[in-house]
Amino acid sequence: MFIVWRGPRGAVSLSLRGLRWCLRLVWGYCVCAPARLMRASPFATYRLLARKRDWVVGRVEYAHTESAKWRGCWRIAKFPYSTLRYFGVSPQIAVGLLAVGSTAGSAVIVNETVFAEKSFSRGDSGVYAAPADVPVVYSDANNTLRIDLGTVPVGMIEISSVTVGTAFQGSALPSGETSVVIIGGVATSTGFTGTWLEVSHLIIDRWRCDQMLVSNVEAHTLNIIGNASDGQSVSPSPSASNRRRGIGGGMRAENMTVSNSTYDQIRIQPITSGVNGQIDVLKLSNIYTKGGLCKIDRVRADVVDILLNEVGKGNGFSLKDFTISTSTTYQVGNLSDNVEVAISPP
């Protein structure tokens, strides 16, 4: 009896006797021979297995060694930038120093390749169309961080531990500006339909400002707690019509987070006529400012937390540096532990 197999090179016939012979050969070499070797000489078997083990381990160690070499090269290449950041230099200034060639040639290469593209997450200034991490407009002469909100909702924008305005050497407000921080919508004007910033949770936490103004804010829950100021006027108005609010949007944008940087000004606004900006959580914490007003205006939110801020420029209690205007309304309010104390300018 023959078994016929048709392959790409034609038909091949194999008798049952030949098939049994092939199976016996495979069984002998693959099963019986190693078993006989192990029985006859366990040490030879061990040495055979050890050689195979050493071959595998050698390949793994080689891969680890090569990986460590590449990691070392990367650490050396980014050393000038890391050193500048360690000593407190802002990302944009550090990149600027590297770009003008103040460090070794290798650092210039790193700057041109790795740090050439500006980034929100790295702390670079510029105009960002949320939620893009790369600015749509950037200029070395302009150190403003501006986020323009459009039709795409954003999950979270978090800015923390930054210095803004004239609080650091060489800084200045943009020409014609009197505010260091501007958060909220844009008022109606000729040819422009006013916009609002819609937020589920707005957190204003641990700011240091010359002046702070909160106006035209519609919140369901308003918490103004633990703020100290050199003169204050906290007079929001209750309103039963302010509703709960959450920002969904399905495939909404990714989060935007930045910390430990310096800017001349921060602006977060919806600037397209008639199109409100939407952020689920807007958290602005540990912001140190000088030289102008911290302004929150035209915001509709579920919860607004204004916590533990320090406001004042040493001009006495009669001038209200910290103002929550009557145009700010709430349905549920907690206004407690806000005190007037003498506060010197930042």
Domain ranges of the chain: 15-75, 124-340
Across residues 286-297, what is the average pLDDT? Answer: 96
Task: Report strand pairing: 322-324 vs 237-238.
Answer: unpaired
pLDDT of residue 294: 97
pLDDT of residue 129: 87
Of 73-77, 162-166, 328-332, the range with the lowest mean pLDDT is 73-77
In terms of phi and psi (left: phi > 0; alpha: psi -120 to 50; beta: otherwise), the region of 136 is alpha
288-314 core/surface letters (b: 16 or more CB in 10 A; e: else): bbbbbbbbbbbbbbbbbbbbbbbbbbe
For residues 341 and 193, give the distance between their C-alpha atoms in angstroms, rounded to a whole number. Answer: 41
| First and final C-alpha spacing in the chain | 101
Residue tagged 């915001």 (tokens): 299
Tokens of 314: 């040493």
Mean pLDDT of the chain: 82
Q: For residue 159, name the pLDDT band (cuts at 50, 70, 90).
A: very high
Of the chain, the percentage scoring pLDDT greater than 70 comes to 73
Q: Is the pLDDT of residue 106 over 60?
A: no
pLDDT digits (tens, 9 = 90+) for 181-210: 999 999 999 999 999 999 999 999 999 999
Nearest to 266 by CA among 144, 133, 138: 144
Of 31-35, 206-210, 308-312, the range with the lowest mean pLDDT is 31-35
For residues 317 and 343, give the distance between their C-alpha atoms in angstroms, rounded to a whole number. Answer: 10
Tokens of 69: 């070499």
Q: For residue 109, name the pLDDT band (cuts at 50, 70, 90).
A: very low
Across residues 267-288, what is the average pLDDT? Answer: 95
Of 38-52, 128-142, 154-168, 262-276, the range with the lowest mean pLDDT is 38-52
Across residues 49-68, what is the average pLDDT? Answer: 82
pLDDT of residue 112: 41
Residue type, 332: V
Could you give the 3-state DSSP secondary structure of residue 211? strand
Across residues 85-96, what is the average pLDDT? Answer: 58
pLDDT of residue 170: 79
pLDDT of residue 78: 61
Q: Is the pLDDT of residue 11 over 60?
A: no
Could you give the 3-state DSSP secondary structure of residue 126? strand
pLDDT of residue 110: 41
Q: Is the pLDDT of residue 1 over 70?
A: no
